[in-house]
Structure 1
Amino acid sequence: MNKINYPFFKISFTIFFIVLLGCSSQPEPPEDSEIPVEVYQVHSEIFTPHLYFSGDLLSWKDANLAPSIPGRVERFYVQLGDTVKPGQLLVQLSGEMLTQAQAQLQAAEADYIRAKSLLENNAITPQAYDRANANYISAQAQRDLAARAAWIHSPFEGIVAEKFIEPGEMYTPTPQISGGEISNPGVIRIINIDTIKVNIDVTETEWMELEVGMKAILHLDIFPDSSWIGEISRIGVNFNSLTRTMPVEVIFPNPDLSLTPGMFGRITIQLKPRQTIIIPEIAVVYLPGTSKNQVFIVTKDDQVKSREITLGYVDDHRVEIISGLQEGETIVAAGARNLTDRDHIKIMESN
C-alpha cells in the first residue's frame, strides 16, 4: 500500500487555496460605470448647404455638318484644330449634282415656256400647263438645293473637331450600319468650347432648392489646384418617370480653352443660406437596417435618452436637423455611438 506524502499534499492545498482566494477577491466593476463623452449644446445658426454632382464636360455648341444630297468631297478648306468664324467656307463638294440639276432646270424651263404659249393659243388644257409650271418650280428648287449642297459653311464660331470623310470620297445622306449601330456623322464637326456645360440629374428634393443662376464650382482631378466658377443655366420641366430625376444644365466660362469636352468633373452647387439647427455629424447614430437616425439627449442626472431625429443636408461634417431637437438641449457628440438608453456619462472637455 502506497503512503501519502502529507507535506507535499499540504503545500499543494495551500497554494490552491491562496490562488482561489486571490481570484475571489478581485474587485467587480461597478454596475453604473460612467462612460466618457463630449457634449454639444443645440443651437441654430446660418447654414449654407452644398450639393455635389459629377459628370462629363460637354461643348457649348456642337454640329455635325453635311450636305442634304449626295456629293463627292473635293476639298477641305480647314484642318483639325482650326478656329473658324460664322459663315466661313469649310468644304467644297463636286458640282456633279449641281450640273445635273441645272440641266433639269433648263429642260423644265423650256417645257414651261412652250406650255405657256400653247395655253395662250388654247392648244393644251389648263391642267397640262399647271403640270409644266409645277415641274419648272420644282426644278428651280432642286437647282438651288444642289447649289447650297456644293459648299459647307460654319454655322457658328468654333473649332474643327473632326473630319469624317476624306477628299475624293463620296458622301451619301443614307444612314450607315457599322457594328450593329445606325449612324451618319456627316462630313465635318464644329464645336464651340468658349463655354463648357455639364448635364446633371437631380432628385425631387434637390430640384426644389435649385434656381437658374445659382453658383456652381467645377473641380477636375487632373487640375487639383484649380477650380472654375459657373452657374445653373437651365432646369428641366419634367421628371424622368424611371429615375425620378430632373435634368439640369450647368455652364462654366472657358476663355483660355483649358477645359475640353470629354473630361470628367466634380461640381459643387451652393444653395441659399438658411437659419436652422445644426449639430456635429458625429452626434448622429444611424440605426442599421433602417432609415431612422437618433441622438442621445443628456438628462439632469447625467444619464442619456435616445431620440429619433429627421435629417436635412449634411455638409462638412455638420448635419441640418429638420425635426426632433430644440435649441438649448444638450446632446452627446463624441462617444454617442457607444451608448444605450439610461447609460451614465462623464462629460469630458472638448479638444
Structure 2
Amino acid sequence: MKSFMLLFIAAWLLSGCGKDQKDEAAEVQVRSVKITTAVSVAQDIEVSETALGRIIDPVAATIGAEVPGRVESVLVDAGVAVSKGQLLAVLDDADAKSAVAKAEAELKRLQAQQQAQRSLVNRYQDMIEKNFISKTVLEQAQAQLDVLQQGEQAAEAGLNQARNNLQRTRIISPVAGRVEQRLIAAGDYIGLGKPMFSIAAGKRLIVSIPLPETRAAHIEKGQMVRLHLAGATKPITAPITDLTPMVGRSNAFEARVEIDNPGHWRPGASVTAEIITDHHNGAVMVPEECVVLRPAGSVIYRITGNIAHAVPVTTGVHSDGRIELISGLAAGEVIAAEGAAYLSDGAQVEVHNTDGVKP
C-alpha cells in the first residue's frame, strides 16, 4: 500500500514539473515583440522657419474725395482693370463751375482796376516833372497800385484753386491696376476725404512675414524663402529683401520678400512662407516613429538578429516625417520602427516588414 502511494506522489510531481516547463516556454514566446524595421539614411536637408505671411501691394492706392459733392455717375466696378489717368467717376460740378466763374469775374475786376491805377500813376509822374502835384500824391497812387497788384495775384491763385476743384469732380485713377473695391454709388453725397475706390497695381508685390523676436538671430537678408499660395500649383522662391529694424508691440519683427506677381496673386491674401535658414549635408535621418523618448532621453533600437539594442541619440531637425540624428547612429543601420515604443534593451523581436527590409 505504501509503495502505491509513493508511486502516485512521484507521478503527480512529474506531471507538475512538465506543466511548469511548458508554461515557461510559452512565456518566453510571448515576450518576442512584433515590429517592423527601417534603415537610417544619409541625406541633405534644409533647416527652415515656417510662418504665415500676407501679400501687400506697395503701390496700391485708395482714392478719396478731394472735394465734397454728390456722385453723378460711376464708370467702373470692382474687379475691372484700369489704366493710369482713366476716368472712374464724376461728381456734380455745378458748385465748382460757379466758383470758377466767380473767381474769373473777380480777377477781371482787379485787372481793370489795376490798369486804371497804372494809368493814373503814369499821369502823376508826368505832372511831378512839371511840378503840378506833390510827390506825396504820386506815392499814394503807387501804393494803391501795389495793393491792386497783390489783389490780382490772390485772385489768380483763387481762380487756379477753383479750376482745380472743378477738375477734382472728375475722379481719375492715379495708377494702372485693378479696382479692388468700389465704395460709392451714383446719388451718394460724399464728404471731403471719403474713400471712393481701392486700386491695386499688382505688378510688383511684397510678402510681409511676421516672426517672433526669439528667431531674429536666425533670420537674415538674402535667405531664400519658398512662398506657397493656397490653390497655386508651384511655390515662388525669392530672397528676403528687407527686415524691420525694431521689434513691435507684438514682440515680433517682420521679414519682407519682394516678388513679381505671377499673374494671380492678389494683395491681402495669406501666404505660407518657408524661410531656409541652413543646410545640413549628409544628415542621418530616420522615421519619427523610430525615436523613442525614455526617462534618460531619446533612444533608437538597433536590431541585430532578433535582439533589440537601445542606442541613446541626440535629435535635430524634423523634416517630412523624419528626424535628424545628430549623434548616436550612423547611416545604414537597421532599426526598429513600428513597435519600437514597446521595446527595451535586449528584448527579443519578431520582424514583420512589408517593404522587404530585414535585420
Normalization by structure 1: what TM-score?
Answer: 0.64
Output the CA distance in 2 between the equivalents of 1:272 and 1:26: 59
2:23 equivalent to 1:27:
yes
Residues 209 and 307 of structure 1: CA distance in aligned 2, closer, same or farther (over 3 Å):
farther
Per the alignment, residue 323 of structure 2 pairs with: 319
Q: How does 1:182-197 map to 2 (within 5 A)?
A: 184=194, 186-194=195-203
Letter in 2 for 1:244: A
What secondary structure does 1:92 align onto?
strand
Per the alignment, residue 307 of structure 1 pairs with: 312
Say which structure is richer in helix.
2
2:215 equivalent to 1:218:
no
Unaligned runs of 5+ in 2: 1-12, 122-136
Per the alignment, residue 9 of structure 2 pairs with: none
Residues 297 and 67 of structure 1: CA distance in aligned 2, closer, same or farther (over 3 Å):
same
Unaligned runs of 5+ in 1: 1-16, 175-183
Checking the alignment, whether the CA contact within 8 Å between 2:54 and 2:207 is kept in structure 1 is: yes
Determine which structure has more spread, i.e. the larger CA radius of gyration: 2
Per the alignment, residue 189 of structure 2 pairs with: 170
What secondary structure does 2:85 align onto?
coil
Residues 298 and 276 of structure 1: CA distance in aligned 2, closer, same or farther (over 3 Å):
same
- Larger CA deviation: 119-128 vs 246-255: 119-128
Checking the alignment, whether the CA contact within 8 Å between 1:63 and 1:191 is kept in structure 2 is: yes
In structure 2, which of residues 278, 290, 302 is the aligned counterpart of residue 283 of structure 1? 290
Per the alignment, residue 340 of structure 2 pairs with: 336
Checking the alignment, whether the CA contact within 8 Å between 1:230 and 1:252 is kept in structure 2 is: no
2:262 equivalent to 1:254:
yes
In structure 2, which of residues 231, 238, 241 is the aligned counterpart of residue 231 of structure 1? 238
Residues 39 and 23 of structure 1: CA distance in aligned 2, closer, same or farther (over 3 Å):
same
Per the alignment, residue 70 of structure 2 pairs with: 72
Checking the alignment, whether the CA contact within 8 Å between 2:81 and 2:179 is kept in structure 1 is: yes
Residues 326 and 350 of structure 1: CA distance in aligned 2, closer, same or farther (over 3 Å):
closer
Output the CA distance in 2 between the equivalents of 1:151 and 1:318: 62
Output the CA distance in 1 between the equivalents of 2:157 and 2:103: 10
Output the CA distance in 2 between the equivalents of 1:328 and 1:161: 54
Letter in 1 for 2:247: F
Residues 71 and 189 of structure 1: CA distance in aligned 2, closer, same or farther (over 3 Å):
same
Residues 170 and 310 of structure 1: CA distance in aligned 2, closer, same or farther (over 3 Å):
same
Residues 254 and 303 of structure 1: CA distance in aligned 2, closer, same or farther (over 3 Å):
closer
Using the TM superposition, give the Cα deviation of residue 260 of structure 1 relative to its aligned residue in structure 2, in angstroms.
Answer: 5.2
Over the residues paired in the alignment, what is the CA RMSD in angstroms? 5.0
Checking the alignment, whether the CA contact within 8 Å between 1:75 and 1:91 is kept in structure 2 is: yes
Output the CA distance in 1 between the equivalents of 2:261 and 2:271: 14
Per the alignment, residue 91 of structure 2 pairs with: 93
Using the TM superposition, give the Cα deviation of residue 172 of structure 1 relative to its aligned residue in structure 2, in angstroms.
Answer: 0.6
Using the TM superposition, give the Cα deviation of residue 55 of structure 1 relative to its aligned residue in structure 2, in angstroms.
Answer: 5.5
Checking the alignment, whether the CA contact within 8 Å between 1:304 and 1:345 is kept in structure 2 is: no
Residues 345 and 253 of structure 1: CA distance in aligned 2, closer, same or farther (over 3 Å):
farther
Output the CA distance in 2 between the equivalents of 1:196 and 1:345: 60
Checking the alignment, whether the CA contact within 8 Å between 1:228 and 1:252 is kept in structure 2 is: no
Identity %: 16
Letter in 1 for 2:230: L
Checking the alignment, whether the CA contact within 8 Å between 1:219 and 1:228 is kept in structure 2 is: yes
Letter in 1 for 2:199: I
Using the TM superposition, give the Cα deviation of residue 156 of structure 1 relative to its aligned residue in structure 2, in angstroms.
Answer: 1.9
Output the CA distance in 2 between the equivalents of 1:20 and 1:98: 120
Count of matched residue positions in the alignment of Structure 1 and Structure 2:
314
Output the CA distance in 2 between the equivalents of 1:286 and 1:245: 34
What secondary structure does 1:166 align onto?
coil
- Larger CA deviation: 70-79 vs 188-197: 188-197
Output the CA distance in 2 between the equivalents of 1:243 and 1:293: 32
In structure 2, which of residues 175, 191, 197 is the aligned counterpart of residue 156 of structure 1? 175
Residues 294 and 54 of structure 1: CA distance in aligned 2, closer, same or farther (over 3 Å):
same
Output the CA distance in 2 between the equivalents of 1:347 and 1:277: 29
Output the CA distance in 2 between the equivalents of 1:283 and 1:78: 61
Output the CA distance in 2 between the equivalents of 1:234 and 1:120: 70
Using the TM superposition, give the Cα deviation of residue 164 of structure 1 relative to its aligned residue in structure 2, in angstroms.
Answer: 1.6
Output the CA distance in 2 between the equivalents of 1:326 and 1:216: 31
Output the CA distance in 2 between the equivalents of 1:66 and 1:55: 28
Letter in 2 for 1:253: N
Output the CA distance in 1 between the equivalents of 2:280 and 2:208: 27
Per the alignment, residue 201 of structure 1 pairs with: 210
Residues 62 and 293 of structure 1: CA distance in aligned 2, closer, same or farther (over 3 Å):
farther
Output the CA distance in 2 between the equivalents of 1:317 and 1:310: 13
Output the CA distance in 2 between the equivalents of 1:303 and 1:49: 31
